Chain A
């Protein structure tokens, strides 16, 4: 069981590594969005410090969302996805493997990049740490929930815009508690409660979303 998850994840990782430009462009999207905000709202350090948790989290959210179509679109186009659906392994497990790979190439780099951007916003060290931790915990939930949207919009026209309509409302709880954790650290309240709930959301998302994704994939491939 673990083997099939690992095999799918390893395959997706290998494919992603062959096309590193795709990964880097998502990261640069994140950097550019985060840099646009100071240009938009002005350079006052106090204001930027206040905005930082929300801005960085929304940026990470949008970057994850932009990378969602990669999850299934290529496999759908060349027919691999059909073979994966036909395979004897439960489709949900295959999806978990793909979600893990997606997180490793989008969520993880975003989380590691975020503290660097946080420096631009004048965040303290402990806030930077919590920002990274909250993104590490929260982005798996984003990949999991996003997989449902990606599967539902497979092969549709205007899939990219559509996926944002479907997925962004469902991302709201993750955003609230992710940005809330950093905010709570900045204001000195402690982030444990937020991080715990974020962890619960991530576990729930990664556990349940693959089954909904599997159902959606079967519908898309009918």
Chain B
């Protein structure tokens, strides 16, 4: 037990995590590429054309994984934030900071592809549907997190302040979601319902799952890559960074 604890905390220091992340990135990137190619192949070539929506539905192979990832990344970010506040580890804040842009990108992608899908299907780019609105608010929360971190020069303070904000945000997400949902049903603005049961062909489901895995792997790879850059930048005064950079330069 004691042994395991030491092992875990060993990678909590940037110095030992940096090479580990470097080793992991190619694997996750490769897995992302493989899943992505397989998912796109099933989604674009193999899956049957939808009876009602025609070919336009195929955008869900991007849209749904992006929406899932945007929500999931916020939770992971909040997890790292909580860990950073509790254990005061430097790496946790770096991970949260590295995840935020990817999460914001996913939320934006989800909104963008949703708009592209909505135009031919609903005849409008945007409806004030509960899901769309809460996804938009999620994007705002990401932007707030990134803006707060960017405004603070001292990285340790930036980490902690961002962590408090991420935790406050994560507590608020269910409240925001349900209030938006109720607001929407009261106003009955959008006559379109997204709440039908997902009665889709199993091939479509497979395509979507593969794409979700691909997005997942991509997010991990890019977050680790970004975390490595942040580590080098923040620890630039230390010996290990100088040695690492010298070693990498020699290659």
Contact = CB atoms under 8 A, between A and B. Distances in A.
Interface string A57-88: 00000000000000000000000000000000
A165 interface: yes
B137 A169 contact: yes
A96 B145 CA distance: 25
B176 A172 contact: yes
A212 B164 CA distance: 7
Interface stretch (B110-118, B167-175, B199-207, B224-232): B167-175
Interface of B: prevailing SS: helix
Contacts of B171: 208
Nearest to B85: A215
A157 B151 CA distance: 7
> Interface residue tally of chain A, by bracket?
20 to 34
Contact of B179 (A148, A176, A212): A176
A173 B175 contact: yes
A180 B183 CA distance: 8
Interface string B109-146: 00000000000000000000000000001001101100
A44 interface: no
Contacts of B147: 162, 165-166
A162 B148 contact: yes
Interface of A: prevailing SS: helix
Contacts of B151: 153, 156-159, 162
Given A170-B172, A219-B161, A153 B183 contact: no
B137 A172 contact: yes
B10 interface: no
Interface in B139-192: 140-141, 143-144, 147-148, 151-152, 156-157, 160-161, 164-165, 167-169, 171-172, 175-176, 179-180, 182-183, 186
A166 B157 contact: no
A153 B148 contact: yes
Interface in B71-103: 85
Nearest to A166: B144
A201 B179 CA distance: 11
A152 B161 contact: yes
A156 B175 CA distance: 29
A103 interface: no
Given A169-B137, A212-B167, A219 B157 contact: yes
A197 B167 CA distance: 22
A212 B166 CA distance: 11
Contact of B176 (A159, A169, A212): A169
Interface in A150-198: 152-153, 156-159, 162, 165-166, 168-170, 172-173, 176-177, 180, 184, 197
Interface in A194-222: 197, 201, 208, 212, 215-216, 219-220, 222
Interface in A123-164: 148, 152-153, 156-159, 162
Contacts of A184: 186
A201 B180 CA distance: 14
A105 B139 CA distance: 33
Contacts of A220: 157, 161
A195 B126 CA distance: 30
B232 to A, nearest CB: 24
Contact of A169 (B141, B148, B156, B160): B141
Contacts of B161: 152, 216, 219-220
8 contacts: A162-B147, A165-B144, A166-B147, A170-B172, A173-B179, A176-B179, A212-B167, A219-B161
Interface of A: 148, 152-153, 156-159, 162, 165-166, 168-170, 172-173, 176-177, 180, 184, 197, 201, 208, 212, 215-216, 219-220, 222
Given A153-B148, A208-B171, A215-B164, 8 more contacts: A152-B164, A165-B140, A165-B143, A169-B176, A172-B176, A176-B180, A220-B157, A220-B161
